[in-house]
């Protein structure tokens, strides 16, 4: 299922961005069916309003009933659908981005890898907000953040277990495992200070840079995984505004 979110203002140019993200809170169980899918819509609408882009949110299949590659395949299918239906959507097929938050951001990174490998639809940009990228959990933050709010080592372990369901992780499932990051679209990578994903996010951004990929990297001090859901916090407001601004700049021209 796809949900289309138009920019809030009719006088803004509409650029296409495929937004692969899960409901807020569902990130902690990584595509686990533990809550309704409606909560993702306000966030997709905020991105559309903040960026002036057309945002397509993907209601992909969830683990544990549907482990990898179900959600990944759903997201990749929507990328193809978006490119093939660009004219009727009123968007430019040369300005498509992929992105998401947490597990959804990990899926988006995998979609970018697959599109490169299979010469699939052109992706102009990838928006990776606190992405889950590495099932191995070998970084300092993954090993030491055992009691952080909302998301910690135990929940990450559970999430990866549900998502992989005992099968070996491929780079499409865990993009940090990819040995070649060259030829990928420019990326925005954001990490939270008190998040198990923090160090794998920073490492992935540095590997992209070393592979010749342009990267904007923002490590948000004093934040934790998904803390920008606390809309009253000043830092959350800055985080949300930045996501919209980043997409607007990436898809401009």
**Is it the case that residue 22 has pLDDT exceeding 70?**
no
Judge contact between 251 and 95, C-beta under 8 A: yes
* 220: confidence class by pLDDT, cuts 50, 70, 90: very high
The residue whose two tokens read 């809030």 is 8
Neighbours of 9 (CB within 10 A): 9
Q: Looking at residue 63, what DSSP letter applies? A: B
Q: What is the value of pTM for the model shown?
A: 0.89
- What pLDDT, on the 0 to 100 scale, is given for residue 4? 67
Per-residue pLDDT reduced to its tens digit, 37-88: 444 568 899 999 999 999 999 999 999 999 999 999 999 999 999 999 999 9
Q: What local confidence, expressed as pLDDT, does residue 25 receive? A: 25
The answer on pLDDT for 27 being more than 60 is no
pLDDT of 8 higher than 70: no
Helix, strand, coil percent content, the chain, rounded in steps of 5: 40, 20, 40
Q: What is the pLDDT of residue 43?
A: 86
73: CB partners within 8 A, 6+ apart: none
CA pair distance 34, 47, nearest whole angstrom: 24
Q: What tokens were used for 28?
A: 């902690």
For the record, the structure tokens of 197 come out as 């994903």
> 9-13, 112-116, 199-203, 231-235: lowest mean pLDDT where?
9-13
Question: Which is nearest to 134 in space by CA: 165, 178, 68, 184?
Answer: 178
Q: How confident is the model over 28-39, as pLDDT tens digits?
A: 334 443 333 444
d(CA 99, CA 82): 14
Q: State the helix-helix crossing angle for 70-84 and 103-117, rounded to 10 degrees.
A: 60
User: What digits encode the pLDDT tens for the residues 162-193?
Assistant: 999 999 999 999 999 999 999 999 999 999 99
Selection from 103, 142, 119 nearest residue 20 by Cα: 103
pLDDT of 13:
42
Q: What is the pLDDT of residue 9?
A: 46
Tokens at residue 62, please? Answer: 């969830």
Side-chain-facing half-sphere of 147: CA atoms under 13 Å: 0
Q: Where are the beta strands (DSSP E) in the chain?
A: 2-5, 15-19, 53-58, 97-101, 125-129, 187-194, 215-224
Residue with structure tokens 């097929």?
Answer: 93
| Of residues 206 and 19, more confidently modeled | 206
Please give the structure tokens belonging to residue 195. Answer: 């998040």
Query: Long-range CB contacts (< 8 A, 24+ apart) of 227-235?
Result: 227/149, 227/150, 227/192, 229/24, 229/25
pLDDT 10s digits, 112-170: 999 999 999 999 999 999 999 999 999 999 999 999 999 999 999 999 999 999 999 99
pLDDT value at residue 35: 33
Q: Cα dihedral angle (98, 134, 26, 194), rounded to 10 degrees?
A: -100
Query: Is pLDDT of 201 > 50?
Result: yes
**What is the model's pLDDT at position 42?**
84
């Amino acid at each position: 299922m796809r949900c289309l979110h138009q920019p809030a203002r009719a006088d803004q140019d509409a650029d296409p961005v495929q937004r692969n993200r899960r409901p807020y809170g569902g990130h902690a169980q990584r595509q686990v069916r533990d809550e309704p899918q409606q909560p993702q819509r306000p966030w997709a609408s905020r991105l559309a309003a903040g960026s002036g882009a057309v945002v397509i949110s993907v209601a992909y299949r969830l683990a544990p009933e549907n482990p990898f590659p179900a959600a990944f395949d759903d997201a990749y299918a929507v990328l193809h659908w978006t490119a093939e239906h660009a004219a009727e959507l009123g968007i430019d097929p040369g300005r498509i981005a992929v992105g998401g938050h947490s597990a959804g951001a990990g899926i988006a990174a995998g979609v970018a890898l697959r599109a490169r490998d299979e010469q699939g639809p052109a992706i102009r940009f990838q928006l990776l907000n606190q992405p889950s990228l590495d099932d191995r959990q070998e970084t300092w933050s993954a090993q030491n953040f055992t009691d952080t709010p909302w998301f910690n080592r135990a929940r990450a372990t559970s999430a990866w277990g549900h998502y992989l369901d005992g099968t070996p992780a491929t780079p499409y499932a865990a993009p940090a495992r990819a040995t070649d990051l060259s030829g990928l679209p420019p990326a925005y990578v954001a990490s939270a200070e008190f998040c198990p994903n923090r160090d794998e996010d920073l490492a992935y951004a540095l590997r992209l840079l070393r592979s010749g990929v342009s990267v904007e990297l923002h490590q948000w001090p004093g934040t934790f995984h998904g803390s920008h859901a606390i809309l009253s916090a000043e830092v959350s407001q800055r985080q949300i505004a930045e996501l919209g601004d980043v997409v607007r700049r990436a898809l401009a021209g």
